[in-house]
Amino acid sequence: MSTPKISVVTPTYNRAYVLGRVYDSLLAQTFDDFEWIVVDDGSSDGTEELVQSWAAEGKLDIHFKWQENTGQYAAVNRGVEIARGEYITLLDSDDWFLPDTLEALLEIWYSIPESERPGFSGAVGLCAYEDGRIVGDRYPEDPLDCDQAELYYLHGVQGDKHSLLRTEVLKAYPFPFEGEVVWPGIVWNRMALTYRERHVNRVVKILDYQETGLSNRALEIQVGSPLPMKQYYLEELRLPHRLPLRRRLRTTANYSRWSFHCGIPLRRQFTDAPSKLGWLALLPLGFAVYLNDRRRFPEAFAAHRARLRAAAAKAT
Q: Where in the chain are the domains? A: 6-210, 216-315
Partnered with residue 96 across adjacent β-strands are: 206
Angle of helix 16-27 relative to helix 47-57, nearest 10 degrees, comes to 20
Q: Report the distance separating Cα 200 and Cα 120, nearest Å.
A: 14
Output the pTM of the full model. 0.90
pLDDT band at 131 (very low <50, low <70, confident <90, very high): very high
Which of 281, 195, 187, 269 shows the shortest CA–CA distance to 228?
Answer: 187
pLDDT for the residue 216: 56
> Considering only 198-207, 213-222, 267-276, which range has the smallest mean pLDDT?
213-222
Q: Report the distance separating Cα 186 and Cα 158, nearest Å.
A: 16
In terms of Cβ atoms closer than 10 Å to its own Cβ (0-12, 13-18, 19+), residue 182 is buried
* Pair type for strands 120-129 and 87-90: unpaired
In terms of Cβ atoms closer than 10 Å to its own Cβ (0-12, 13-18, 19+), residue 167 is middle
Q: Give 41-93 pLDDT, tens digit per residue.
A: 999 999 999 999 999 999 999 999 999 998 889 999 999 999 999 999 999 99
Q: Are 77 and 51 in contact (CB under 8 A)?
A: no
Which residues have CB under 8 Å from 130's CB, separation 6+?
206, 208
Please name the CATH architecture into which domain 6-210 falls: Alpha-Beta Complex (3.90)
Kindly tell me if the per-residue pLDDT of 1 is higher than 70: no
Kindly tell me if the per-residue pLDDT of 291 is higher than 70: yes
Q: Are 14 and 21 in contact (CB under 8 A)?
A: no
In whole angstroms, how far apart are CA 226 and each of 66, 114, 159, 274? 26, 41, 22, 20
